[in-house]
């Protein structure tokens, strides 16, 4: 900020190919130019500016003359995903996110394995997860099962609530994580209730207001489908298409991502390289046999651990290919042996 005394901070609410829409307050938004090196020129050369060093939705930037970004301010969290393709790439989806609501319906689609996956991915981004079980009102939703699911998630130290996403009471249930200045995202599979919850959090009045503002003639850009949405509570909700398909980046930690208990058990196995299969003295198998560890969750731990390890390897070889590249190196794993 000292280098740009004439510039003012603003937050990125939309990202486009040629530039950004930034806002200095709820509901406003102006198109600004980005730094030339953040744009992809026609003959885009690899390694010009790493995607990580370009702003994404949720980032704070400095804007000069109200129309030109001159700097990207440091971010406190970043949601990235491993992008598919021949070469490993990381794609930055959202920045400065405080809380991720992991949305899962208590209907036939309820799947603890999927929740475990999202918890791991969210943790990798440095974001607080909160599990939101929707469709608690449906006759198909078994109250006892819902209760057990909530208790199991809370036992991992993760807050969890059950709601009817269509009911305004859901706003109250999520209010502890939607204080003024908080930034939230919704993740979860298709049909889980993310759009429904977004509409409920926005409130009907707010939606109407936004629609009216679209017609204002000040050249301001206001739409109802923007990527960063101010909520009536004073919190911000980031809703970008990329958010809906998260894959491990290779930077996740199984111990911090909801599997601390299994990692602790594995440390008790007789053999350091125990595959927890048929080895004697396996503490993991023993816990499963005693009914203290859910086998489905253990198998998911192996599966997710394999995905993280594979992504981590691709990230490492990517780094080796491009010594000068500014991609963050994976943190050393807590255990030098991967699961499985």
Minimal distance, residue 281 CB to Zn ion, in Å: 8
Residue 63 backbone dihedrals phi, psi, to 5 degrees: -120, 130
- The site map against ligand GTP for 79-118 (x = CB under 6 A) is ----------------------------------------
Q: Which is nearer to Zn ion, 69 or 269 (CB)?
A: 269
d(CA 243, CA 58): 13
Angle, alpha carbons 120-243-86 (nearest 5°): 80
- The site map against ligand GTP for 120-139 (x = CB under 6 A) is --------------xx-xx-
Q: What share of the chain is helix, strand, coil (3-state, %, to 5)?
A: 30, 20, 50
Out of 30, 56, 192, 315, which residue is the one contacting ligand GTP (CB under 6 A)?
Answer: 192
> If 0-12 CB within 10 Å is exposed, 13-18 middle and 19+ buried, where does residue 249 land?
buried
Residue among 125, 49, 51 at smallest CA distance from 83: 51
Using rule CB under 6 A, residue 190 touches ligand GTP: yes
Minimal distance, residue 150 CB to ligand GTP, in Å: 15
Minimal distance, residue 268 CB to Zn ion, in Å: 8
CB count within 10 Å of CB 67 equals 12
Q: Which does 276 bind (CB under 5 to 8 A by kind): ligand GTP, Zn ion, none?
A: Zn ion
Q: Which is nearer to Zn ion, 192 or 262 (CB)?
A: 262
Using rule CB under 6 A, residue 165 touches ligand GTP: yes
Using rule CB under 6 A, residue 196 touches ligand GTP: yes
Residue 20 backbone dihedrals phi, psi, to 5 degrees: -135, 155
Q: Which does 240 bind (CB under 5 to 8 A by kind): Zn ion, ligand GTP, none?
A: none
Q: Which two tokens stand for residue 66?
A: 């109200």
- The one-character DSSP state at 329 is P
Out of 51, 159, 191, 242, which residue is the one contacting ligand GTP (CB under 6 A)?
Answer: 191
Side-chain half-sphere of 73: how many Cα atoms within 13 Å?
18
Q: For binding to ligand GTP (CB under 6 A), which residues are involved?
A: 134-135, 137-138, 164-166, 188, 190-196, 244
């Amino acid at each position: 900020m000292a280098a740009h005394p004439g510039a003012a901070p603003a937050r990125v609410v939309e990202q486009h190919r040629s530039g950004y829409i930034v806002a200095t307050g709820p509901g406003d938004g102006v198109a600004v130019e980005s730094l030339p090196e953040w744009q992809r020129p026609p003959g885009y050369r690899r390694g010009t500016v790493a995607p990580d060093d370009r702003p994404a939705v949720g980032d704070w930037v400095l804007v000069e003359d109200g129309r030109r970004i001159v700097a990207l301010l440091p971010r406190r969290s970043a949601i990235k995903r491993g992008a598919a393709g021949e070469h490993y790439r990381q794609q930055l989806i959202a920045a400065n996110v405080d809380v991720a609501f992991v949305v899962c319906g208590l209907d036939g689609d309820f799947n603890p394995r999927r929740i475990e996956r999202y918890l791991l991915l969210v943790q990798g981004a440095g974001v607080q997860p909160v599990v939101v079980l929707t469709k608690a009102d449906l006759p198909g939703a078994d109250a006892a099962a819902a209760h057990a699911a909530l208790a199991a998630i809370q036992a991992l130290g993760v807050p969890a609530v059950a709601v009817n996403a269509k009911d305004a009471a859901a706003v109250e249930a999520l209010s502890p994580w939607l204080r003024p200045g908080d930034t939230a995202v919704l993740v979860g599979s298709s049909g889980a209730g993310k759009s429904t919850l977004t509409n409920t959090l926005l409130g009907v009045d707010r939606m109407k207001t936004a629609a009216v503002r679209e017609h204002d003639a000040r050249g301001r850009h206001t739409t109802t489908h923007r990527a960063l949405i101010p909520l009536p509570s004073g919190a911000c909700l980031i809703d970008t298409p990329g958010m809906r398909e998260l894959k491990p980046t290779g930077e996740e930690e199984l111990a911090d991502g909801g599997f601390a208990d299994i990692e602790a058990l594995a440390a008790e196995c007789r053999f350091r390289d125990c595959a927890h299969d048929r080895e004697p003295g396996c503490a993991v198998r023993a816990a499963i046999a005693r009914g203290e560890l859910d086998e489905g969750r253990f198998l998911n731990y192996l599966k997710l651990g394999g995905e993280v390890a594979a992504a981590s390897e691709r990230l490492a070889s990517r780094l080796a290919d491009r010594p000068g590249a500014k991609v963050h190196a994976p943190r050393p794993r807590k255990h030098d042996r991967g699961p499985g």
